[in-house]
Amino acid sequence: MTRKPRTMDELPSPFPKTRTMRFIELKHGKRLEDIIMSGTIYETGKKLGLSPSTVSKWRKIINEVFWKNFPEQGGDNGSQ
């Protein structure tokens, strides 16, 4: 018996989500990462009914999780 591969939308979230985050995903039918990263923090906040500071905090959380998964390349940053 083989399993059907899971899509990105079916994978568990790499960061804990609040009720508001999950609500926004359900309301818009998209992943939070895609919704929150579109436009400026002011445009996104207005569209979602959130303050710009909340959008900024959520973007920071998402970016930290995303970049944490990439190892640093080169080690010495090109200096000799």
Note the pLDDT tens digit of each residue in 31-53. Answer: 888 899 989 999 999 999 999 99
In terms of Cβ atoms closer than 10 Å to its own Cβ (0-12, 13-18, 19+), residue 20 is: middle
pTM higher than 0.85: no
Stretches where the chain sits below pLDDT 50 are 78-80
pLDDT at 66: 76
Helix ranges (H only) for 1-80 are 19-28, 32-36, 41-48, 52-68
Residue type, 18: T
